[in-house]
């Protein structure tokens, strides 16, 4: 019951963040086909960066959970089956290698001369120039 307020505030923060993002996107309204395509390319690049970041964070979380489950299995093998930490370890490995898989799949599908849409890492720093 006490987690209900946490989820409510997280939802409010997420909705307000999306509102500010949408207002910024609509402030730069596109009037021709070229600017629409540029806006879509930039959006897909940011989406790829978001998926990459979530994949790395979730992979590290699953790896930590796997280590904790291995310890729980060592402490009480009858309660935690060995398959649980092994499955968590495989999920962690898959999530950590997902961004690399995106690059390899893009090269396989579109060829070696293709340009990656923003998955290369940090594009700007808070106080610096690009």
Query: d(Cα 120, Cα 102) in Å, to the nearest integer?
Result: 11
Q: Is the pLDDT of residue 31 over 50?
A: yes
Q: Give the DSSP per-residue string, 33-99.
A: HHHHHHHHHHHHHHHHHHHHHHHHHHHHHHHHHHHHHHHHHHH-TTTS-THHHHHHHHHHHHHHHHH
Q: Is the pLDDT of residue 83 over 90?
A: yes
**98-124 pLDDT per residue, tens:** 888 877 887 788 777 766 555 455 544
**38-77 pLDDT per residue, tens:** 777 777 777 778 888 888 999 999 999 999 999 999 999 9
Q: Give the DSSP per-residue string, 94-105.
A: HHHHHHHHHHHH
> Are the C-beta atoms of residues 106 and 114 closer than 8 Å to each other?
yes
Assigned token pair, 9: 């505030």
List all residues 6 or more positions away from 124 whose beta carbon is below 8 Å from its beta carbon. 130
Region for 114 from its dihedrals, namely left if φ exceeds 0, alpha if ψ lies in -120 to 50, beta otherwise: beta
Neighbours of 121 (CB within 10 A): 8
Residue the block writes with tokens 């402490």? 75
């Amino acid at each position: 019951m006490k987690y209900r307020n946490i989820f409510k505030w997280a939802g409010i923060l997420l909705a307000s963040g999306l509102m500010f993002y949408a207002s910024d996107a609509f402030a730069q309204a596109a009037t021709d086909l070229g600017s629409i395509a540029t806006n879509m390319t930039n959006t897909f690049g940011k989406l790829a960066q978001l998926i990459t970041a979530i994949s790395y964070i979730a992979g590290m979380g699953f790896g930590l959970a796997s280590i904790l489950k291995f310890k729980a299995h060592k402490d009480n093998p009858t309660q935690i089956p060995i398959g649980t930490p092994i499955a968590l370890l495989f999920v962690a490995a898959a999530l950590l290698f997902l961004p690399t898989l995106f690059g390899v799949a893009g090269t396989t599908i579109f060829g070696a001369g293709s340009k990656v849409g923003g998955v290369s890492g940090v594009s700007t720093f808070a106080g610096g120039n690009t």
